[in-house]
Amino acid sequence: MGYGWGKDLKKPEFTKVSDVIWEIPTSFKKGMNVPARIYATKQILDQMDLMVFDQITNVATLPGILKYAYCMPDGHSGYGFPIGGVAAMDAVEGVISPGGIGFDINCLHPDSKISLSNGTWKKVSDLEHEWENKRVKFFNIENKAVENATPIMFMKRMEDNSIFEIVTESGRKINVTAEHPILTQRGFIRADNLKETDNVYTQPFSGVEYEKPSDEVIVSYVDIERILDVIGITNSGNARVQILNTLKRVGLNEIRYNSTALPAILKIMGFVFGDGCISILSKIKKGMTAFYGKKEDLETIKEDIKSLGFKAQNIFSRQRKHKIETYYGTSEFDFTEHSLLKKSTGFAALLIALGTPHGIKTSQPYRIPKWIMKAPLWQKRLFLAAFFGAELSSPKTINAYNFYMHQLNMNKLEILKENGEEFLNDIRLLLSEFCITSTYPTIVEGNQYVGKKGKTIGLRICIHSNPDNLVKLYENVGYEYNKEKSNLACLAANYTRLKESIKSHRSDIRTLALEMYKSGERPRDIRAALLQENISKNFINHSIWPDRSNNVRLPAASITFAFDEFKKNLIGDGIVIDKIKKIEQHPYKGFVYDITINNENHNFIANNIISHNCGMRLVTTNLTLKDVQPKLKELVDKLFQKVPAGVGSEGFLKLTKDEFRKVVEEGAEWCVKKGYGWEEDLQRTELYGRCKDADAKKISQKSVDRGYSQIGTLGSGNHYLEIQHVKPENIIDKATAKAFGIFPDQVVIMFHCGSRGFGHQVATDYLNTFLSVMESKYKIKILDRELACAPFNSPEGQDYFTAMKCGINMSFANRQVILHRIREVFSDVFKQPADKMGLQMVYDVAHNRGSLEKHLVDGSWREVIVHRKGATACFGPNRTEVPKIWQSTGQPVIIGGSMETGSYLLVGTDKAAETFFSTAHGAGRTMSRTKAKGLWRGEQLVKDMQKKGIYVRTVSFPGLAEEAGGAYKDIDSVINAADLAGISKKVTKLVPIGNVKG
Amino acid sequence: MSYKFLEDIAIADVAFEADGKTIENMFEQAGLALENTMVKELETVKTTDKRKITAEGKDTETLLHNFLEELVYIKDAELLLFSKFSGTKIAEKNGKWFMETTGLGEPLNQKKHELLVDVKAVSWHKFSVSKVRGGFKSTVILDI
């Protein structure tokens, strides 16, 4: 899905913002949340590969991205993010950014019904003006349950191409655009990639169309007071006032049709009409409501009681022995009775005021409250479904294939027979509003007994079991507060639909067979043409000879699956697997709609980019070119020995794995404590050399295995250590150069390396974690798996952020140990202590990291996660992110060029606020390594560089060829672009004289 | 069955394509391509050490990705390079893919092996496994 090769990449139309800023509008690609901005001169822009633009616009689709997706002048294609890519994501809860959290319901036909909370639905096109206050249902794959979430974005767009119609075997239909992902057993699959054998997930229950309730009062304060009078609660001991105050506090002293509490109240009432009981203990003048049922269902009731603002009591369980005399004989059994008690007189009084019977229901008359009979249909359903959850029989098959009629039984004193019938007729009336038919109330023979209060009789109504009637019952009413029955109803709905669709197919075949026969075809040929699954030879024979029965019903023997077997298709609460029967693409012109939902978090950390954590360190000396030149070869040779580089290089530090865990928590601070550096080195390192709150518990054993022997090693690829010369004519900003400790003719050391295998393993581990939860748990759709991400505030996002800090610390520690080795080599070669030769750090800055920073966005300060992928932070003066000693100058920015052409020292500026204080990090490649290796030979390169006065040592000649100057953009023009844009200012250029290459 | 490095795909990294008549052949070739990215001549890596390597994944793409990641891990954690894979078996069970193979090779030695660049990770960027005429093919970008 969208991970293809992209051979047909198109060049964007750029809008020129300035000579060095080019914008790609969001219209360039579907899903872009912000425009992309390329910082480059026209010449550099033309040199950039098309993939850069594809990748930076992919970044622009990430949820929560702020302002722009930036690409620095050294930008070139990477994986996921381009190298030189910068993106800032909102980290503040409650600030909703377009795109917030991935797409759940994506580009649907206007007639598509969206399931909402409280068993309601609405057509997506009707939601256009009222989506904000709705709760949308979604399937939480992790706990396999349907849950509610708040929509945070609604989109409507014109589709002028086509739409896919997907029909399942049970006859469900949906029309979606090509890129709309559908959840199948293979995961989320785009509509245009679905296969006809795919099993899709369906929620058979659909409920009732939402209708806005009126604000008519159902029960007022006065009504509740009257009930308190009736049940004998006076104001002695202040009881009455307390009860009324409690109700007032939770906002239940008055109930209207549009009260937010009403849906939960309706369900609670429905259940109490069935398996609940309100008792008023007259002696102590206290009310109590009891619910009996399965533990899991009582938990749901408890949640609803809590949602009303009441404290919920615990669920009690007790063993009971039961003996029932029935028509069929005496039945004895043990069972565990679970009950939920809500001891609250106010709660009980409210339910009574609303028309709920209290005391023993058998011995008193009651009807369904009149206000329910005139409520909107969806409110009636809540009452009815909860009542059914308690009282209506569950879907059961007679012969494994056909369902019994559903029974609703009630016991009543014989003298209340008429009232019992009236109540059941109320239920029948409600059912008829859902177009569900049922039998008249009848007396159940054998269900009578004589108790203390007199003779009791059993009354019953049945819901007709014709398929159409049952499907309406299961799909539009269903059961509340009874998970088991509710799941069975969902299964039964799909099962019945499936059977019906086979039946209608058989009927078609029967007609066809007869027509073929009448037109003179031979029975043998007809059989050959029509024989298929569910159509037997006998069936065709029966069809041809008209004297045979005309029944198209499925004979038991011909059905390949019984209901019991079908039950395996339930894969989550209310979710049933359904096979796709056909997928058709139709031309379509018209609006399509999108809803984006939010599960609590909407901030993201995009993974791939953050953890590699390489960085640059620049070290000054008080030596001049004249001092160093005679010893250059010896210096480089010794550095080559002491700072291991290349594949499989191991450092001189031998650590236990436990000690390594300390290193990644403490960073360069650990090194200084152990004697590998000076206190002041920390003052000159970003974050003072230690990224706080790094926790080694969040990294894997594998990452430790890979990293613990690599401290103090350069690595390979573009990692290097250079001895550089400050040519007097190359100093551009003399004052700042001086402040940074730079003087003409000086020799400085620059090196570039990262957290080695460790950082990569951390990234890999979390990439895998994110890939597994991103779509399923957080509904984030990305255009490239390398952009795998999770909400910043999710457990996964936070774990990664913590683990990534370990990666940053490893890279600080690695560069600190290398600095220590450089000092050793210099003292050895020049026979004097390192501090006598300066060897002072200018700065150490990471250029691949995700960092939580405060930025001014549209006039207000916000916490954002800035992702800098191959981009350098460049804070201006007086920013808290800059160490104290550089407060007045701004942060030193170290940008490494190719090994042949030179590098730059720049300084951060205030103007860089526009790029979230980010700038280039290098020259940027223009061709692949494989191609460079074909163009240059390492051995020749060494000779050519020698001629230019650069002495090189490398572990790998082919590796060196890949880094040839010609494989990179011209560093001067990259730096000029950054300087012109003002996002960092040139201080000095540095040219290489010696190089150790990994 | 073979592999080839691609020029114009990944600018900062190394990309290759591997194919094989069977999925097992293709996996072995992809493994060799990864090793060959780090060592110039695979023939210089003797087959004195044997190591059993296993991987699993939810589909063949994840399986190949995890297998290659495992080779990167072994290179760093155990300093082992391979020049041959044998007895490779790949199977699907209950919707999950499993592989096992024996890697034959020897410990990395900078003096003996001409080393090229270090593979730091296997990228998901443009990663693909596909069934083609006459077998299987994969495209992989390695993070350098």
Tens of pLDDT, residue by residue over A842-864, are: 998 877 777 888 888 888 888 88
A186-224 residue pLDDT tens: 766 777 778 888 888 888 888 999 999 999 999 998 999
Signed CA dihedral, A16, A17, A21, A22: sign only: negative
**For residue A609, is pLDDT > 50?**
no
Q: Mean pLDDT over residues A562-581, rounded?
A: 86
Do A78 and B125 lie within an 8 Å CB cutoff?
yes
A657-668 residue pLDDT tens: 888 999 999 999
Do B124 and A706 lie within an 8 Å CB cutoff?
no
Query: A866 or A255, which is more confident?
Result: A255
* Confidence at residue A674, expressed as pLDDT on a 0 to 100 scale: 83
Do B116 and A715 lie within an 8 Å CB cutoff?
no
Optimal mutation site among A929, A935, A997, interface B, most CBs of chain B within 10 A = A929
Q: Which residue in the set A5, A927, A962 is minimally distant from B117, CB to CB? A: A962
Is residue A690 a contact partner of residue A809, using CB atoms and an 8 Å limit? yes
What are the helix (H) ranges across A835-970? Answer: 929-935, 938-947, 957-961
Relative to beta strand A951-954, strand A985-997 is parallel
> Which residues of A fall within a CB distance of 8 Å from B67?
none
- B49 to chain A, minimum CA–CA distance in Å? 17
Q: Which residue in the set A771, A929, A958 is minimally distant from B144, CB to CB? A: A929
Is residue B28 a contact partner of residue B19, using CB atoms and an 8 Å limit? no
Q: What is the distance between the alpha carbons of residues A990 and A745, in angstroms, rounded to a whole number?
A: 10
Q: What is the distance between the alpha carbons of residues A127 and A148, in angstroms, rounded to a whole number?
A: 16
- A307 to chain B, minimum CA–CA distance in Å? 40
Percent share of chain A, pLDDT over 70: 89
**For residue A451, is pLDDT > 80?**
no
Q: Mean pLDDT over residues A318-347, rounded?
A: 75
Which range scores top for mean pLDDT: A14-18, A143-147, A226-230, A524-528? Answer: A14-18
Relative to beta strand B49-57, strand A903-907 is unpaired
Do B115 and A702 lie within an 8 Å CB cutoff?
no
> Which residues of A fall within a CB distance of 8 Å from B137?
none
Q: Mean pLDDT over residues A359-373, rounded?
A: 93
CB of A171 less than 8 A from some CB of B: no
> Which residues of B fall within a CB distance of 8 Å from A786?
123-125
What distances in angstroms separate CA A876 from CA A16, A880, A881, B63, one per listed residue? 26, 10, 9, 47
- Amino acid, res. B64: L
Signed CA dihedral, A897, A900, A905, A906: sign only: negative
* Confidence at residue A601, expressed as pLDDT on a 0 to 100 scale: 25
Q: What is the distance between the alpha carbons of residues B40 and B24, in angstroms, rounded to a whole number?
A: 24
CB of B50 less than 8 A from some CB of A: no
The band of A590, judged by pLDDT with boundaries at 50, 70 and 90, is confident
* Confidence at residue A7, expressed as pLDDT on a 0 to 100 scale: 46
Do A710 and B76 lie within an 8 Å CB cutoff?
yes
Do A928 and B139 lie within an 8 Å CB cutoff?
no
Helix (H, G, I), strand (E, B) or coil at A220: coil
Do B14 and A930 lie within an 8 Å CB cutoff?
yes
Helix (H, G, I), strand (E, B) or coil at A187: strand
**For residue A132, is pLDDT > 70?**
no
**For residue A408, is pLDDT > 90?**
yes
Do A928 and B8 lie within an 8 Å CB cutoff?
yes
Chain A, chain B: beta-carbon pairs less than 8 Å apart? 145
- Phi and psi (nearest 5°) for A360? -75, 120
Q: What is the distance between the alpha carbons of residues A814 and A756, in angstroms, rounded to a whole number?
A: 9
Q: Which residue in the set B9, B11, B39 is minimally distant from A925, CB to CB? A: B11
**For residue A2, is pLDDT > 70?**
no
* Confidence at residue A539, expressed as pLDDT on a 0 to 100 scale: 80
A107-123 residue pLDDT tens: 677 778 888 888 988 88
Q: What is the distance between the alpha carbons of residues A762 and B118, in angstroms, rounded to a whole number?
A: 17
Q: Mean pLDDT over residues A241-260, rounded?
A: 91
The full set of domains in chain B, from first to last, is: 12-143 (3.55.10.10)
- A761 to chain B, minimum CA–CA distance in Å? 7
Q: What is the distance between the alpha carbons of residues A137 and A113, in angstroms, rounded to a whole number?
A: 12
Query: B56 or A617, which is more confident?
Result: B56
CB atoms within 10 A of CB A10: 11
Q: Mean pLDDT over residues A796-801, rounded?
A: 86
Instruction: Kindly give the parts of chain B with pLDDT less than 50.
Output: none
ipTM of predicted assembly, 2 dp: 0.80
Is residue A717 a contact partner of residue B144, using CB atoms and an 8 Å limit? yes
Q: What is the distance between the alpha carbons of residues A420 and A252, in angstroms, rounded to a whole number?
A: 30
Of A69-73, A507-511, A741-745, where does mean pLDDT reach its minimum? A507-511
Q: Mean pLDDT over residues A345-349, rounded?
A: 92
Task: List A residues 660-719 in contact with B (Cβ-Cβ < 8 A).
Answer: 702, 705-707, 710, 715-718
Compute CA A230 distance to the chain's CA centroid, rounded to the nearest angstrom.
Answer: 53
* Confidence at residue A710, expressed as pLDDT on a 0 to 100 scale: 86
CB of A300 less than 8 A from some CB of B: no
- Phi and psi (nearest 5°) for A765? -55, -45
The band of A327, judged by pLDDT with boundaries at 50, 70 and 90, is low
Concerning whether A921 is annotated as a catalytic residue, the answer is: yes
* Confidence at residue A101, expressed as pLDDT on a 0 to 100 scale: 21
Do B114 and A956 lie within an 8 Å CB cutoff?
yes
- Could you tell me which of A264, A337, A273, A339 has the C-alpha nearest to residue A303? A264
- Phi and psi (nearest 5°) for A648? 70, 20
> Which residues of B fall within a CB distance of 8 Å from A756?
76, 120
CB of A928 less than 8 A from some CB of B: yes
Q: Which residue in the set A3, A757, A930 is minimally distant from B5, CB to CB? A: A930
Q: Which residue in the set B14, B73, B75 is minimally distant from A929, CB to CB? A: B14
- Phi and psi (nearest 5°) for A775? -80, -40
Q: Which segments of A364-441 are extended strands (E)?
A: 406-413
* Confidence at residue A473, expressed as pLDDT on a 0 to 100 scale: 96
Q: Mean pLDDT over residues A140-145, rounded?
A: 69
CB atoms within 10 A of CB A11: 9
- B82 to chain A, minimum CA–CA distance in Å? 13
Q: Which segments of A191-242 are extended strands (E)?
A: 199-202, 208-209, 217-219
A458-498 residue pLDDT tens: 999 999 999 999 999 999 999 999 999 999 999 999 999 88
Do A705 and B76 lie within an 8 Å CB cutoff?
yes
Do A79 and B11 lie within an 8 Å CB cutoff?
no
Q: What is the distance between the alpha carbons of residues A578 and A478, in angstroms, rounded to a whole number?
A: 19
Contacts of A473 (CB under 8 A, 6+ apart): A406, A431, A434, A436, A463, A489
Least CA distance to A187: which residue of chain B?
A: B58
**For residue A87, is pLDDT > 80?**
yes
Optimal mutation site among A55, A83, A764, interface B, most CBs of chain B within 10 A = A764
Do A928 and B9 lie within an 8 Å CB cutoff?
yes
Q: What is the distance between the alpha carbons of residues A201 and A572, in angstroms, rounded to a whole number?
A: 9
> Which residues of B fall within a CB distance of 8 Å from A927?
11
> Which residues of B fall within a CB distance of 8 Å from A762?
none
**For residue A598, is pLDDT > 70?**
no
Give the single-character DSSP code of A555.
Answer: P
DSSP string, A937-964: -HHHHHHHHHHTT-EEEES-HHHHHTT-
**For residue A606, is pLDDT > 60?**
no
Q: Which residue in the set B13, B73, B125 is minimally distant from A761, CB to CB? A: B73
Q: What is the distance between the alpha carbons of residues A4 and A783, in angstroms, rounded to a whole number?
A: 10
Do B75 and A647 lie within an 8 Å CB cutoff?
yes
**For residue A290, is pLDDT > 60?**
yes
- A10 to chain B, minimum CA–CA distance in Å? 16
**For residue A914, is pLDDT > 90?**
yes
- Could you tell me which of A306, A381, A403 has the C-alpha nearest to residue A347? A306
